[in-house]
Structure 1
Amino acid sequence: MLHHHPTEKVHKCWQEDELFGYQFLNGANPMLLRCSTSLPSRLVLPPGTEELGAQLEKELQNGSLFQTDFILLGGIPTSGIQGERQYLAAPVVMLKMEPNGKLLPVVIQLLAPHVHDTMEMNTQDQIQFDSDEGILAKAVSKGGGGHIDLAQWGMTQLTCCSLCPPDDLAEQGLLRIPSALYAHDDLQLWEIIARWGIIHLFNQRDDVVRGDPELQAWCQIMEVGLFQAQDRGKIHLRDRSFL
């Protein structure tokens, strides 16, 4: 991001909508952004914002509405740093793509705050803070155990399609955005690796693929180990073309 936006410019313009949208394209988590096919169910517009709702519907019909939903952070346990409870936001962000390719925010809605079991959780967490000397609990907001919950939730969303950049990028609609540098670079790297012909180098024939114990073991991992990632049906590594 700093290559295209020098540090001085970021320092001066970090609150501007253009830079805000740019970070969703080329920031820390660009693969969370996807083209909207419908409005998120947890996006609730308050009374008096009918005009905004109409704008969202219009952008939705035009295929220019994008969203980033951080619901995966909702309910993740947080730690305490120097005795202070840390927080994780779980917003849903709606952005629209301008004709010039820039992505600008339209709506930002935070997860509704809750107080259920807050005192009990604070007491338990405070005990853990005093006894846990791990670096995660001292320096990271999601704490020493929150990262496990986050990883488990992420696994439930994993699909075979999401592991294949051409399919994943096409599904998310990012290739239509010229300034989505991460997406375009990702696709170019995939195509370069494909041109190298690594599969043909190590697997000269289809029967070599079928007889490769490591490949078949990987196939078993994909079928069993990734649980809900069987979105392509049962995987059979029978030939080089599929591999």
Structure 2
Amino acid sequence: MERSTYKRIVLKLSGEALAGDQGFGIDPEMIQSIAEQVKELHELDVEIAIIVGGGNIWRGMAGSAKGMDRATADYMGMLATVMNSLALQDSLENIDVQTRVQTSIEMRQVAEPYIRRKAIRHLEKKRVVIFAGGTGNPYFSTDTTAALRAAEIEADVILMAKNNVDGVYDADPSVDENAKKYETLTYLDILKDGLAVMDSTASSLCMDNNIPLIVFSIAEKGNIKRVVKGEEIGTTIRGQS
């Protein structure tokens, strides 16, 4: 019988992961593939929380760089994450996985407001919970949301699924063919060396709360299940070596 290494996980998906090869918007085939992989975890009796970025629809930093008010641009990004979360919820429920979306910005007609105790109760009842709307505050990324929610719900690990890289490298592997992939790192390594894994706020939060992070590729179908079962793929980051 297949078993999971983790009881409760936070799965962090970039918005670009939902865009697939088209690079923007939502690719129905890609989101269906992700939903099927999440169902595989659900069948392993794993409690699953998901956080989706919004970069396939809108990037707050990009809007700010072109003169838009930063807070306004970030709020637009939060709304993009809600759109992605609803799309993923629909795909999951189409394959009989009970799912709840909770938003940091209240919009009761489409999702529940984020309530920590209610989220934990959903997880205990084996419902997938998708946290949308970021932290509800501008100037914070969805990476920070992942770290914050993982600490709040006492998750065992954060799984960071990437669509264009299979771990953490010392240089951009798409540019430098000699880029070295790390098997393990500490959060201090990330902060000290400025590695582009997650922003410094998220890294510090994970480090302070001793939450491990695994960075891996979602491009190969079945990788999420492999990580949850304990296979050593991608890069594992911990609070201390």
TM-score normalised by length of structure 1: 0.23
The structure carrying a bigger helix percent of its residues is: 1
Higher relative contact order (CA 8 A, sep 6+): 2
